[in-house]
Amino acid sequence: MPTIADVAKRAGVAQSTVSHTLSGKRPISADVRLRVLQAIEELGYQPHALARALATRRTRTIALMYPALTSEISEPHLEFVSGVLQATNDWKYGLLLWTAPDENPKVPYLVRPDLVDGSVMMEVRLDDPRVRRMKELHYPFAMIGHGTENEGLNFVDLDFDYALHTCVEYLAGLGHKRLAFINNSVEQYELGLGYVVRSEGAFHQALAQWGLVGTSSFCGSNAQAGYEVTRALFTRDSAPTALIVLNAWVGGGIMRAIHDQGLRIPQDISLVGILSPRAAEMTVPPLTAIDFPYKTMGYRGAELLLRQLEGETLSVQEFLKPPLTIRQSSGPCPS
Amino acid sequence: MPTIADVAKRAGVAQSTVSHTLSGKRPISADVRLRVLQAIEELGYQPHALARALATRRTRTIALMYPALTSEISEPHLEFVSGVLQATNDWKYGLLLWTAPDENPKVPYLVRPDLVDGSVMMEVRLDDPRVRRMKELHYPFAMIGHGTENEGLNFVDLDFDYALHTCVEYLAGLGHKRLAFINNSVEQYELGLGYVVRSEGAFHQALAQWGLVGTSSFCGSNAQAGYEVTRALFTRDSAPTALIVLNAWVGGGIMRAIHDQGLRIPQDISLVGILSPRAAEMTVPPLTAIDFPYKTMGYRGAELLLRQLEGETLSVQEFLKPPLTIRQSSGPCPS
DNA sequence: GTGAAAGCGCTAACAG
DNA sequence: CTGTTAGCGCTTTCAC
């Protein structure tokens, strides 16, 4: 691999001249520029990103702090990735995937700070240790999701309050009186994951507001769990006539349980989700759902960081309120 | 951020001594080691990964060459990511996500070579320009998938030949005589994506072997496309009694089309897939399927690269033959 | 067993 | 407008 020195020698100029023709940080005469460019071309020179990064103290790479890789990765997280990747691509940055290593509790969740210019966090907890640490290190970051203390932080999040209210309102309008909300897992709730906690609260608040009754259940992220949780709903004296589900991966289990119960969707029971259109269309019937814009959120979150890194000082806290798309899993409450 | 020089000064030793106590590459007396360790502790020193990489010429980071970010990312790819990430985590490597930038055809698909020690490729084409380039640069890599020319290459792949044959054999055993295969998109086929081309061939070969008739159709990666392709199957004179589908995201569309046709699964028509168990369980009824082990493949693929980077010279071409799991979408051919 | 110094490939003052 | 030189923070000869 040729270095900048090789180029300089071949073009008969100083290294700094090569460096500057490349960066444009100072005027270069036409003929010198030509010679340099030619030398670069002939040698197939490509600047060594590492050396440059060491000298400039900027890597032009950001990290995506991935939630810890426990037994099962919940796939929705993955959908954020493609959005983030799209953004780093557009901005010509690199993207490093990062996971909280379990074995080093001393430096919890901290990215090798010298490898990246900043990071995007996801699966934010209400009181997230990563956030505290990042702040105290004055480390640039942005979040997909948000916690309790948001002073001066930048993030994009789905407005779960809006989402749950919208679902409940919609179902109330269809005459449903008894609802059930199938949330994510207890573990996530107890971890204090923002959206899990907020959804839980918002659901009950919305119930009260519309004078409905309802129950909420936690549920693991797989079809089997969805099945069991749903079965349990029907053992009670007054079963719900409509369900709201947060997690795309349990939809199949829920529908199967409903089917096994001898009920039909949407004639006997309604099901609405808060999930990606893609997931909503994977089932039969397709699900009425708040269209969770994973990719957009990933893109926006990354942008929030990138703009900071490019020198902007910003303070953006964006709440997305995607529409409820009516598909075929919901209908009027049977009388 | 403290540097190695700070540590050296505080411990009253030379930089090289600090370096060596850390690397263990030469003997250090007990007391010196103690002083060094203490200084490190007190200063909260962490070696600068970049500087180290520049000096050693190893970054301990690998790249995952992501397929180009066209309009829609097909989500299955994402599932590989979590496997790869798991592996890099286990091996204590970093993971850089990389996408073919469209604008620079001169250095097609090539990762900033100095930022990573090697790369994992996915979505391998039969005659993949990336592979040729990597080979000619003697650049370490491993593949998830494989092409035509595999001399000396390392990869892991699903055995699509096995997969299609198994599906066809299973359906033949149930008495089905007319099958349809719903492959991925034409674009992918024309691009020469290994698994798309191989599946296509294997399906027809299997048909011949079992004396069945059948058709194959290409299909975009969304429910709507699945719906339309399936509808088209029923306009012909002799509709199939069993379908094989390769792409998880079209399952819903297919099932809806079947339903709209007034047919029931599995009584009137069987549907088997080649997709992840997770996806198979998302539908009602859950799909009989070859259990596509995305995560495992990602992990194995990464391992293949990692082992090379750790000095092993290996030549592994692994074909996975995951079992066909019978669920509820398949049954005997109606007479 | 330890220290001094060169060098990885680049950028950025500092001169001119 | 261009060249010289001193780092960026680490590893690794080469001496002792």
A150 touches chain B (CB under 8 A): no
Pairing of strands B155-158, B317-320: parallel
Whose structure tokens read 């956030």? A131
Nucleic strand C near CB of residue B56 (< 7 Å)? no
Nucleic strand C near CB of residue A27 (< 7 Å)? no
Nucleic strand C near CB of residue B12 (< 7 Å)? yes
pLDDT in tens, A6-20: 999 999 999 999 999
For residues A260 and A292, is the Cβ–Cβ distance under 8 A? no
pLDDT in tens, B27-55: 999 999 999 999 999 999 999 999 999 99
DSSP-based three-state secondary structure for A217: strand
Count of pairs with CB atoms under 8 A, one residue in A, one in B: 145
For residues B165 and B321, is the Cβ–Cβ distance under 8 A? no
CB-CB under 8 Å, B113 with A97: no
DSSP-based three-state secondary structure for A157: strand
Nearest to B94 among A51, A115, A252 (CB): A115
Largest CA distance in chain A: 89
Q: What is the pLDDT of residue B130?
A: 86
Q: What is the pLDDT of residue B70?
A: 57
Residue A102 C-alpha from the chain's centroid: 21
CA distances from A167 to A132, A231, A242, A277, B151 (A): 34, 22, 10, 15, 57
A245 by Cβ neighbours in 10 Å (0-12 / 13-18 / 19+) ranks as buried
Q: What is the pLDDT of residue A110?
A: 64
For residues B225 and B219, is the Cβ–Cβ distance under 8 A? yes
pLDDT in tens, A280-335: 998 889 999 999 999 999 999 999 999 999 999 999 999 999 999 999 999 999 98
CB-CB under 8 Å, A81 with B286: no
Angle between helices B294-309 and B75-90 (to 10 degrees): 40
* Closest among A43, A31, A33 to A5, alpha carbons compared: A43
Whole-angstrom distance, CA of residue A190 vs CA of residue A125 = 10
Whole-angstrom distance, CA of residue B102 vs CA of residue B188 = 17
B7 CA from C4 C1′ (Å): 17
Q: What is the pLDDT of residue B246?
A: 94
Residue A102, pLDDT > 90, answer: no
How much of chain A, in percent, has pLDDT values that exceed 70?
94
> Where residue A112 falls among pLDDT bands split at 50, 70, 90?
confident
Residue type, B212: L
Q: What is the pLDDT of residue A71?
A: 45
Whole-angstrom distance, CA of residue B302 vs CA of residue B118 = 10
Whole-angstrom distance, CA of residue B213 vs CA of residue B206 = 10
Phi, psi (5° rounding) for residue B182? Answer: -105, 105
Q: What is the pLDDT of residue B74?
A: 54
> Where residue A76 falls among pLDDT bands split at 50, 70, 90?
low
N residues, chain A: 335
- The rounded mean pLDDT for chain B is 91
pLDDT truncated to tens, each residue of chain B (335 aa)?
Answer: 899 999 999 999 999 999 999 999 999 999 999 999 999 999 999 999 999 999 999 999 999 987 765 545 556 677 898 899 999 999 999 999 988 655 444 444 566 778 999 999 999 999 988 888 888 888 999 999 999 999 999 999 999 999 999 999 999 999 999 999 999 999 999 989 999 999 999 999 999 999 999 999 999 988 899 999 999 999 978 899 999 999 888 988 999 999 999 999 999 999 999 999 988 998 889 999 999 999 999 999 999 999 999 999 999 999 999 999 999 999 999 98
For residues A325 and A277, is the Cβ–Cβ distance under 8 A? yes
Sequence-separated (6 or more) residues with CB below 8 Å from residue A36: A7, A11, A13, A17, A18, A21, A28
Q: What is the pLDDT of residue B71?
A: 45
Q: Before A285, cis peptide (omega within 30)?
A: yes
Nucleic strand C near CB of residue A51 (< 7 Å)? yes
Nearest to A89 among B53, B69, B281 (CB): B69
Whose structure tokens read 């190695």? B4
Pairing of strands B94-99, A94-99: antiparallel
Cβ-Cβ contacts under 8 Å, B97 against chain A: 81, 85, 95-97
Whose structure tokens read 């053992």? A235
Least confident of A174-178, A272-276, B4-8, B126-130: B126-130
Q: What is the pLDDT of residue B110?
A: 63
Interior/surface letters B58-69, b for 16+ CB within 10 angstroms, e for the rest:
ebbbbbbbbbeb
Nucleic strand C near CB of residue A29 (< 7 Å)? no
Nearest to B50 among A54, A95, A285 (CB): A54
Q: Before A266, cis peptide (omega within 30)?
A: yes
Q: Where are the beta strands (DSSP E) in chain A?
A: 61-66, 94-99, 118-122, 141-144, 155-158, 178-182, 213-217, 242-245, 270-275, 288-291, 317-320, 324-325
Q: Before B323, cis peptide (omega within 30)?
A: no
Q: What is the pLDDT of residue B159?
A: 98
Whose structure tokens read 């759902």? A289
Q: Which two tokens stand for residue B330?
A: 């398949």
For residues B274 and B61, is the Cβ–Cβ distance under 8 A? no
B20 CA from C1 C1′ (Å): 11
Whole-angstrom distance, CA of residue A230 vs CA of residue A75 = 21
Whole-angstrom distance, CA of residue A13 vs CA of residue A148 = 57
Pairing of strands A324-325, A288-291: antiparallel
Whole-angstrom distance, CA of residue A36 vs CA of residue A19 = 10
pLDDT in tens, A17-63: 999 999 999 899 999 999 999 999 999 999 999 999 999 999 999 99
* Closest among A9, A77, A59, A242 to B51, alpha carbons compared: A59
* Closest among A237, B176, A221 to A229, alpha carbons compared: A221
For residues A96 and A115, is the Cβ–Cβ distance under 8 A? yes
- The rounded mean pLDDT for chain A is 91
Nucleic strand C near CB of residue A5 (< 7 Å)? yes
Nearest to A96 among B94, B248, B256 (CB): B94
Whole-angstrom distance, CA of residue A116 vs CA of residue B70 = 26
Cβ-Cβ contacts under 8 Å, B66 against chain A: 85
B68 touches chain A (CB under 8 A): no
Protein-strand D interface by C-beta, 7 A: A 12-17, 20, 26-29, 31-33, 51, 54-55, 57; B 1, 3-5, 15-16, 19-20, 22-23, 25, 45-48, 51-52, 54-56
